[in-house]
Amino acid sequence: MINFKPILTEMRTSAILLFICISGLLNSCKKEVNKKISVSDKGIKQQIDYATGFEIVDYGSYKILSVTKAWPDSEVVFNYALLKDEAVLPHGIEVDATIQIPVKNIVVTSTTHLPALELLGVTQTLKGFPNLDYISSKTVRKRIAAGQIKDLGQNESINTESTISLQPDVVISFGVAGENKALNSIQRAGIPVFYNGDWVEKTPLGQAEWIKFFAALYDKEAIADSIFKDIETNYLTLKNRAQNANSSPTVLSGAMFKDVWYLPKGESWAAQLIADANADYLYKDTRGTGSTSLSIEEVLTTAQNADFWIAPNSFENYDELGNTSAAYQQFKAFKERKIYGFASAKGETGGLIYYELASSRPDWVLEDLVAIFHPELELDHKPHFFKALD
């Protein structure tokens, strides 16, 4: 899934930011044999409708949060015990980590984790983050300005001493098969590390439903259910409305890096959003959920006459795009000025809002795409992420 290039996949994968957010965790997951937990018929399993990578079972005085897909093709299940009201885990139950909830102090390692904290109203618990400049949330930036959140360096070399000094209740990290010395050091210091696999989900609503993962840490499941239900309703309403459009325009995505064009594969989150917007993604038949790399010749052959071109990397205007490569000027979407990107929507320190917020608000992404592909539907819409290039 991960390709160290500045152009990866159109949705949720973009070059530089995803590199920062995930590359440091390429070796993050331990190779332990799974701990075993006792399954009681008294536990109440939380309803998870779209996400496939985690489960939550509530046993009253404690919950078991199981991450079943921490990284692609993972066969390891991580079981975490969440203890309520200073409860003690019953004898004989073995888990990978144990914390008391609600969490009072937390460290997260990706900007994609931040919207869940904000939606749940718990940003005051955030104590540290690797590279604060990438954060766009106005709420979180106020806390940064007040000196309430510590910069922990870069994800690929997170400052373990600074992290340990914060004594967080838990560190939320990405998981990719391998070893990560920094995370191992944090765990040896007695600080639990939870792996979050939201980026492995194949559907937009599946990724958004990981708000329930964070809600479990704060005992705010009811709030998360309500928030997610609103997102789901908005998304499905937009999807249904798009089906009433008179046409399904053809769509190209991505751009080149060093003469290689990177675009999302046909089973990706990005491709699903285009399909749900009732458009014809020209690479919908490519297998897989990551990005694929193609020659400019191949892309011109397949997609030169695409009606729309979205997410052309970090380009914000046609002059810059056309001057970078004359090949770009050959596309119909370039000639007809039907290219849309999200690079112009930035936070106050230059972080791209799309990379922080889009996976939590797929309904906003879909709204942008439906408005772009089907202007005849006349959505009462103000762009959230995607805007026409200048």
Tens digit of pLDDT for each residue in 338-361? 999 999 999 999 999 999 999 999
The answer on 302 and 173 residing in a single domain is no
Which of the four pLDDT bands, split at 50, 70 and 90, describes residue 5?
Answer: very low
Whether residue 164 is found in the same domain as residue 70: yes
- Range in 11-25, 109-123, 249-263, 312-326 the model is least confident about: 11-25
Q: Do 144 and 100 share a domain, yes or no?
A: yes
pLDDT for position 178 = 61
pLDDT at 21 over 70: no
pLDDT of residue 7: 36
Q: How far is CA 77 from CA 41, 64, 280, in A?
A: 20, 12, 37
Q: Which of 196, 231, 225, 194 has its CA nearest to residue 101?
A: 194
Q: Decide if pLDDT at 24 tops 50.
A: no
DSSP state for residue 317 in the 8-state scheme: S
Do 261 and 215 belong to one domain? no
Are 242 and 337 contained in the same domain? yes
d(CA 207, CA 311): 20
Mean pLDDT of the chain: 89
Task: For Cα atoms 233, 277, 221, give the angle at the middle one, nearest 5 degrees.
Answer: 30
Q: Are residues 204 and 345 in the same domain?
A: no
* Number of Cβ atoms within 10 Å of the Cβ of 229: 11
Q: Indicate whether 209 and 238 sit together in one domain.
A: no
Tokens of 241: 């409305």
d(CA 383, CA 364): 8
Which token pair is 286?
Answer: 């490519």
Please spell the DSSP secondary structure of 8-28, one letter per residue: --SSS--HHHHHHHHHTTTT-
Last residue of a domain, one of 220, 242, 271: 220
Check whether residue 213 and residue 254 sit in a common domain.
no
Query: What tokens appear for 185 in the block?
Result: 């050091």
Q: What is the mean pLDDT of residues 62-72?
A: 94
Domain boundary among 220, 252, 272: 220
Q: Which domain holds residue 78?
A: 15-220
Q: What is the DSSP string of 64-100?
A: EEEES-SSTT----EEEEEEETT--PPTT---SEEEE
CB within 8 Å of 58: residues ≥ 6 apart? 43, 44, 45, 46
Domain boundary among 220, 255, 289: 220
Query: What CATH number has the domain bearing residue 81?
Result: 3.40.50.1980
User: Which residue has 């995370």 as its token pair?
Assistant: 183
Omega before residue 72 within 30° of 0, cis = no
pLDDT > 70: percent of the chain? 88
Question: Which of 3-7, 74-78, 225-229 is predicted least confidently?
Answer: 3-7
CA quadruple 213, 1, 174, 195: dihedral, nearest 10:
50
Containing 355, the helix (H) or strand (E) segment is: helix 353-357
Question: Is 333 part of any domain?
Answer: yes
Asked whether residue 335 is domain-assigned, the answer is yes
Q: How many CB atoms lie within 10 A of CB 119?
A: 20
Element spanning 207, H or E:
helix 204-208
State which amino acid sits at residue 367. E
- The answer to whether residue 226 sits within a structural domain is no
User: Contact, 228 vs 211, CB < 8 A?
Assistant: yes
Q: Is residue 339 part of a domain?
A: yes
In a domain, 106, yes or no: yes
- Residues 285 and 380 placed together within one structural domain of the fold: yes
**Alpha-carbon gap, residue 316 to 388, rounded angstroms:** 8
DSSP H or E run through 309:
strand 308-310
Same domain, 239 and 367: yes
| Token pair listed for 153 | 């360096």
In whole angstroms, what is the distance from residue 233 CA to residue 86 CA? 37
Kindly tell me if the per-residue pLDDT of 177 is higher than 70.
Answer: no
225 falls within a domain: no
Read off the pLDDT band of 26 (50, 70, 90): very low
Q: What is the DSSP letter of 205?
A: H
Quick one: pLDDT band at residue 1, thresholds 50, 70, 90?
A: very low
Per-residue pLDDT for 22 more than 60? no
Give the residues across from 77 on adjacent strands. Answer: none
Distance CA 282, CA 290 (A): 16
pLDDT for residue 179 is more than 70: no
The predicted model scores a pTM of: 0.88
Banded pLDDT at 15 (limits 50, 70, 90):
very low
pLDDT above 70 for 176? no
Query: Does some domain include residue 4?
Result: no
- Percent of the chain at pLDDT > 90 equals 80
User: What is the domain count for the chain?
Assistant: 2
